[in-house]
Amino acid sequence: MRPKLIILPFLCLAVLIPKSAPAEEAAPEAGTARDIILKADKAYNEKRHEEAVAGYQKFLDDFGTSPEAKPLLPHVRYNLVAALMQTQKFGPAVEAIEEARKIPEITPDKQENLSFWLGGSLMQTGETAKAREALGEFMEKFPRSRRREDAALLSATLLVTEGDKKEAAAALGAIRKNPDSVHGGRAAVLELHSLIESGQDDAALPLVTEMAGQQDRITQLATLRPTPGSSQSASRKLSTSSSRILISSATPDATRGGQASQRAHALVKFSNP
């Protein structure tokens, strides 16, 4: 039995970057094109993801338009996206995802992954409006997806980034109140931040009271309060950090920079008691 490429996107870079799982290796067959794919699959399985990207791309460059290559395109296109996500090359990943989604032979479960990764990758490249649109499309098309709550949190985080704190607070409150959501802690942090930033102190107070028994978390929440002039930068950093936590649990947090970084790390600590 051949091992399958199982991409487990990471939660915000714990939810987007797939864990390194065995690539679904193409069946051995004579021919240069097949050899290229086999080498790329082997590189992926051995966590040499840059080499895997180069191999899949070489196949597409050399053979992608030939009729003989058509049956192999679903395999190559999907695995190329997985390898790009592993290397955190989100710009090229967006292009690769859009190409892969055009292939009807790609199975529904993989189409679901591609749709989710598109929203996360657009978020990472700073295209916030397109990212929210893509995440909304994902939630509408796959309402029962196990990643739906991840997408909801990312979408709400983008509202924070875009400065729509009032709408963000409402969206985050809905996530926090959902007993089935695994992101209640993260949502509470961002909700409180959004309520304070939008001047809704009366709404923020009950949330603080509700969490008063969790002293360590309240201390971390205080770090979310921005310093003068830092709000826009902090929101952008918070969005990037949130996305990366959801992309892959195997990828270290790459957030950098002063108080914005501290706020982002407070979010991570809050969500992992």
Look at residue 198 and tell me whether its pLDDT is greater than 50. yes
pLDDT at 17 over 60: no
Chain-centroid distance of CA 173 in Å reads 21
pLDDT of amino acid 208: 86
Burial of 65 (0-12, 13-18, 19+ CB in 10 A): exposed
The alpha-helical segments, DSSP class H, found in 73-228 are 73-86, 90-100, 108-124, 128-141, 148-161, 165-177, 184-197, 201-210, 215-222
Compute the distance between CA of residue 45 and CA of residue 104 in angstroms, rounded to an integer. Answer: 26
Buried b or exposed e, range 9-22, using 16+ CB within 10 angstroms = bbbbbbbbbbebee
d(C-alpha 101, C-alpha 86), whole Å: 19
What pLDDT does residue 209 have? 83
Single out the residue of 149, 56, 52, 67 nearest to residue 100, CA to CA. Answer: 56
SS3 270: helix
Per-residue model confidence (pLDDT) at position 213: 64
d(CA 172, CA 156): 6
Q: Is the pLDDT of residue 245 over 80?
A: no
The mean per-residue pLDDT over the stretch 233-249 comes to 48
Cα atoms found within 13 Å of the Cα of residue 13, Cβ hemisphere only: 19
Residue 244 has pLDDT above 80, yes or no: no
Q: Count CB atoms within 10 A of the CB of residue 170.
A: 16
Tell me, what amino acid is at 170? A
Tokens 């923020």 identify what position? Answer: 204
Q: Is the pLDDT of residue 158 over 60?
A: yes
Residue 214: what pLDDT? 60
Q: Which residue has the higher pLDDT, 23 or 58?
A: 58
Q: For residue 142, which amino acid is it?
A: F
Contact 260, 238 (CB under 8 A): yes
